[in-house]
Structure 1
């Protein structure tokens, strides 16, 4: 484990595919009986531009569901309803990063969440082990701004009185990492290698 440095005092984690698995095709397959139907369900819901609008807070859940139904055969509407209501239960924790968050917390780092997600994010957070460790969180759907806009990183820092230069941001998306750098944070792209996060702390 890296020793705490004077430069980095806070670790800011993304959620999807950093702390929690997000896999639309896998979610859709839990609510359908064949590969073709799962593909259609994924395309209509998780693979649509409306999903990103939901994360941005510019459309509501009723609108997102209505738009998805417009792009799906009516026979699959019950599957869509079930998936829309229950997919988050199949979003499982990523053990190694949750364990890392716990270890860093014990070492004295501040632990924060910055996620592009909808306002129902609690449906995932309720079974995310690191959630109880968090010193604060900013969620795009609640703020109506999204990564990689530097404004959302600045909002996190202002809300929790953080110095951007003392924050290390961890995200699986390279563009989101660049947004953090523009906002003054250090950033590391997570590709499944916890050692890369530790190396960034040591630099």
Structure 2
């Protein structure tokens, strides 16, 4: 029989918090065309992944984005860079599930591909104060789906990977967790199905 799951490891963006570059960009521009340009230069840029990996600085990201936008949009870019985390809204149903699981005795962890500014999002995530630990790619210079980042989470918090269920909206990240010895659930938005899976593995 499989080892019971006693720890749930959540991704952040798309699972516990909203991450939507086009939406964020629209909050700082006046037309759909300007929003699309801002998103392409910032959130949709290939460099955004490097920012999340800790490979480049926020200053480098900003310089790149400015170079790919007309000068008239530079103030919009500056406002967006400063304030977009305020528009990253909690996904209430998954936060409620996470809090409920913690109260029932599950270990609760977060593993996110995100930059070093992640606390600007986590500070308004309801489940934050219930977490037993978290690991962030930009701080560790490791990224999902590399099995090494899941292994690091387990070492840091003394977890047996066999007791962990990893939850992510990216199927490749789920596969990385499985390689590291965890079980994984590809989250597509149905919290009831997720909860049923967790209950079935207890």
Structure 1 length normalisation: TM-score? 0.96
Residue equivalent to 2:107:
110
Q: CA-to-partner distance for each residue in 1:11-52, whole Å, 9 max, x for gaps?
A: 000000100000000000000000000000000000001110
Equivalent of residue 39 in structure 1, options 31, 36, 39: 36
Q: State how 1:56-135 maps to structure 2 within 5 Å.
A: 56-135=53-132
CA distance in 1 between counterparts of 2:74 and 2:128 reads 33
CA distance in 2 between counterparts of 1:36 and 1:198 reads 40
TM-superposed deviation, 1:7: 1.0
TM-superposed deviation, 1:105: 0.4
Residue equivalent to 2:148:
151
Residue equivalent to 1:180:
177
Asked if the contact 2:3/2:162 (under 8 Å) is kept, the reply is no
Partner secondary structure for residue 108 of structure 2: strand
Gaps of 5+ in 1: none
CA distance in 2 between counterparts of 1:37 and 1:100 reads 37
Asked if the contact 1:10/1:110 (under 8 Å) is kept, the reply is yes
Q: Would you identify which runs of 4 or more consecutive aligned residues in structure 1 move more than 3 Å?
A: none
CA distance in 2 between counterparts of 1:18 and 1:78 reads 31
Asked if the contact 2:9/2:111 (under 8 Å) is kept, the reply is yes
CA RMSD of aligned residues (A): 1.0
TM-superposed deviation, 1:197: 1.7
CA distance in 1 between counterparts of 2:27 and 2:62 reads 18
Q: CA-to-partner distance for each residue in 1:56-101, whole Å, 9 max, x for gaps?
A: 0000000000011111111100000000110000000000000000
CA distance in 2 between counterparts of 1:40 and 1:151 reads 35
TM-superposed deviation, 1:6: 5.6
Structure 2 length normalisation: TM-score? 0.97
CA distance in 2 between counterparts of 1:17 and 1:61 reads 22
Residue equivalent to 2:158:
161
